[in-house]
A = this chain, B = another copy of it.
């Protein structure tokens, strides 16, 4: 334990610095596979902007790194502790500072949980649109730092599209405000956009002004079961060709259905090998749902007819289709995106890879965005490490990335590069583009104390 921790204990109030073993372990990792386990020197709980500034100042010049953390639900290792770091947990800065119904904006501290903001907004007929499946636990600060997507992003956009302004503590402890309190504003460079998705490497987000959208007055949900995944993926394109913009368009494969049946005792597998869940919303929801049903029926789906409670229950199930199992070295969830027209091809390629290499595969997709979450896993042979099987797993992982890129895709649609996906970044971005990012990082954080070894 270094002197920085003593210094922090001196500066902050009792209970704000925890260097106990339990806390260190609990805050050492997020939900991603761990490739280089490190314990932080301490976990620090700022309660104000001034606290954050004091912590950053205490670390600056000492070589102690700062890993910002929201709820630790990240799945790319962005919040994993690194060597000689403190973890800065923003969870206690959880106040909604303003909610302006007529302006349709809110100002929040970074630790506000997504669902809490949404509940507060709902009281005014408003919503904060970006809804990662982790919305009940993940924080707005974490959402901003990862530019989180979610289920209803096909229609309402990702986090970036709802963030108007941020307050950021920079690497020297100074505080800046970027962006605007208005819906539109183009004065100067888009610094707000630069911080969104920067995964704690350019500054600590200590305040966020968001735009709220209208809670839809009507929601219709259609569940369509298909004999196979390819036909379901084709259904996504068919809805697009009908020029209907659903709020939610989620695609679940047979493996995912089987898993949901296992956990929840449902009978999804009996009804099809793939499920396409579509939700339309707004004043046109009923008419849109009707077009969706017609189009999917014509494409060979078994479609729920009623304005269906059951379909809505399925969306709830989908929201929880991750999270029961945590990824580890035997089980890795991916997050590629491909142009929508390649969905079918990409899933076919995944199937082929997985069966070639004897690796288990299940896939869910935010299909409206072409954003896929394949999960690859191998069986644990009685608890002991099977090096050969692990090699096969990594082979398939690598191939799945290469295939996505070859189709014009990206290595991460919404989860961020974090620590885990760094190894693939060079395949997506050539050296000159990476070099620009390093230089931007250097500009904001010359000592490299903010979440080193992440994101870029």
Contacts and interface: CB of A to CB of B under 8 A. Distances in A.
Given A197-B186, A437-B188, A181 B339 contact: yes
Contacts of A282: 245, 282-284
A182 B338 contact: yes
Contact of A160 (B104, B190, B241, B417): B190
Interface in A397-450: 408-417, 421, 425, 428-430, 432-434, 436-437, 439-440, 443-444
Q: Which of A100, A184, A283, A411 has the most CB of B within 10 A?
A: A184
Contacts of A243: 125-126, 214-215, 217
A436 B434 CA distance: 20
Nearest to A408: B181
Interface stretch (A61-69, A170-178, A382-390): A170-178
Interface stretch (A146-154, A313-321, A325-333): A146-154
Contact of A157 (B100, B104, B161, B443): B161
A189 B197 contact: yes
Contacts of A214: 243-245
A113 to B, nearest CB: 21
Contacts of A186: 146-147, 197, 410, 412-417
A245 B284 CA distance: 12
A444 B146 CA distance: 25
A75 to B, nearest CB: 12
Given A182-B371, A185-B413, A284-B287, A102 B191 contact: no
B189 A198 contact: yes
A337 interface: yes
A279 interface: no
Contacts of A191: 433, 436-437
Contact of A440 (B126, B177, B189): B189
B189 A194 contact: yes
Contacts of A287: 283-284
Interface in A128-177: 146-147, 149, 153-154, 157-158, 160-161, 174, 176-177
A439 B442 CA distance: 11
A119 interface: no
Contacts of A123: none
A103 B185 contact: no
A52 interface: no
7 contacts: A177-B433, A181-B339, A184-B410, A185-B410, A244-B283, A283-B284, A284-B287
**Would you list the 8 A-B pairs with minimal beta carbon distance, nearest first?**
A283-B284, A284-B284, A193-B193, A102-B341, A185-B410, A182-B337, A214-B243, A103-B339
